[in-house]
Amino acid sequence: MRATWDIFCRVIDNFGDIGVTWRLAQQLQREQGFAVRLWVDDVVSFNKICPAVQLGVDQQGLAGVLICHWREGLISAQSESADVVIEAFACQLPEHYIALMRAKQQVLWLNLEYLTAEPWAAQCHTLPSLQSGGLQKYFFFPGFTEDTGGLLREQGLLAQRNDFFASDSLAQAFLATVQVQPLPGERLISLFAYANQGLPSLLQALSNDTRRNRVLLLPGPLQSSVAQWFAEQSLQVGRSYQKNNLTLQLLPYIEQEQFDQLLWCCDLNCVRGEDSFVRAQWAGKPMLWHIYPQEEGAHLLKLKAFFTLYSDALDDDSVQALKHLWQAWNQQADMGAAWALFTAHEEKLQSHAMRWLAQQNNYPDLATKLASFYEKWL
């Protein structure tokens, strides 16, 4: 009989929590053959990136996964826990469910942690912690090195990406679905970030650039400052806003399934958080990462750790260019000089993005690592 897996996801804010767990649930089912349930407390956020998810329904099957609304009544109606339980991002499992795990005894309890390149993550990866009632909880850290849990990467992802790049028409066809028609020679930039005081200076630099830039803005907190910069009340999907060499379009929400295609179409991907950041790496294009801000600047250590790893095989000048760009963006500083430096090193950063992709592709993906950890634990 197939082993059963329950993944619990509490949406703290934004889309990263559900974005990651939804991808993982699908892969565990499709690629590893487990029977998977995904418990999520905020179906409205889920529906934004996956419109097939119905609102107001307790349980629904989608892509082979049973999606359950994590609410008290439904949890207390459960009479048995799954064989493997993933508590995503320390979301605190319900007491009733923990009691079911205790009663079942032979349950693998995993806490899936946030992604970080900090070396301590590899040291803590798969460490157990004894819980009351005798259960062990194991900490599972995704990551960028062999001694971590790896990254989410569907089995066919890179083949799909390569087919997309090999075709003349697929990018055009995708862009047409979001009403984007780039002009020849334009630099295409996806823009997905948190509110950032450096934004006006980035827009200014793009508009003063010698090359034409077309920015594809994802819905989110940048909308109002972009509108202000263009002296508009608000931005509308389907309209283009222009100033000198900058054209900007606000995109509608894109289904997560199509999100990769957007990244594949662009020459630079400005991404944020965790999931879009990883997808930008699989796109093999230069990226500008806006890391999720944490208290007391903890995120800056995380940023530095990833940068050190990512830029390891890069030439010194390009390292400086990229560092300047990422630091200015994450410190919400002026982006003018950083943008000029980036454009001077763009080609090398492009080749480097492909080198990084190839290197990361050598490691097993997160779902595979979870499945083999389970096999060994049995």
Ligand X SMILES: Cc1cn([C@H]2C[C@H](O)[C@@H](COP(=O)(O)OP(=O)(O)O[C@H]3O[C@@H](C)[C@H](O)[C@@H](O)[C@H]3O)O2)c(=O)[nH]c1=O
Stretch that binds ligand X, among 8-16, 91-99, 150-158, 327-335 (CB under 6 A): 8-16
Active site annotation includes 275: no
Which listed residue (273, 282, 349, 363) binds ligand X by CB under 6 A? 273
- Examine residue 283 and tell whether it contacts ligand X (CB under 6 A): no
**Distance between alpha carbon 150 and the CA centroid of its chain, in Å?**
14
The smaller minimum CB distance to ligand X, of residues 256 and 318, is found at 256
The smaller minimum CB distance to ligand X, of residues 204 and 330, is found at 330
The smaller minimum CB distance to ligand X, of residues 49 and 108, is found at 49
CB of 292 to ligand X, least distance (A): 4
- Examine residue 276 and tell whether it contacts ligand X (CB under 6 A): yes
The smaller minimum CB distance to ligand X, of residues 287 and 353, is found at 287
CB of 116 to ligand X, least distance (A): 10
| Max Cα distance, the chain (Å) | 67
Indicate the helix (H) or strand (E) that contains 27. Answer: helix 16-30
- Examine residue 88 and tell whether it contacts ligand X (CB under 6 A): no
**Distance between alpha carbon 36 and the CA centroid of its chain, in Å?**
21
DSSP collapsed to 3 states, 336-376: HHHHHHHHHCHHHHHHHHHHHHHHHCCCCCHHHHHHHHHHH
Hey, which residues does 130 pair with through a beta bridge? 136
Task: Map tokens 């905020």 to a residue.
Answer: 42
Task: Map tokens 């989410």 to a residue.
Answer: 152
Which listed residue (26, 204, 256, 343) binds ligand X by CB under 6 A? 256
Helix, coil or strand: residue 269: strand
Residue 91 neighbours by CB distance under 10 Å: 22
Residue 203 φ then ψ, to 5°: -60, -40
Residue nearest to ligand X (CB): 16
Given 83, 113, 260, 274, the catalytic residue = 274
Rounded-to-integer distance, Cα 302 and Cα 118, Å: 6
CB 332 within 8 A of CB 202: no
- Examine residue 275 and tell whether it contacts ligand X (CB under 6 A): yes
Active site annotation includes 274: yes
- Examine residue 292 and tell whether it contacts ligand X (CB under 6 A): yes
CB of 273 to ligand X, least distance (A): 3
Indicate the helix (H) or strand (E) that contains 302. Answer: helix 298-310
- Sign for the CA dihedral angle at 239, 223, 279, 109 comes to negative
DSSP secondary structure code for residue 146 in this structure: T
The smaller minimum CB distance to ligand X, of residues 28 and 98, is found at 28
Binding mask 13-52 for ligand X (x = CB under 6 A): xxxxx-x-----------------------------x---
CB 102 within 8 A of CB 134: yes
Which listed residue (2, 12, 167, 177) binds ligand X by CB under 6 A? 12
CB 66 within 8 A of CB 59: yes
Given 6, 17, 113, 275, the catalytic residue = 17
What residues line the site for ligand X (CB under 6 A)? Answer: 12-17, 19, 49, 114, 192, 218-219, 253-254, 256, 259, 272-277, 292
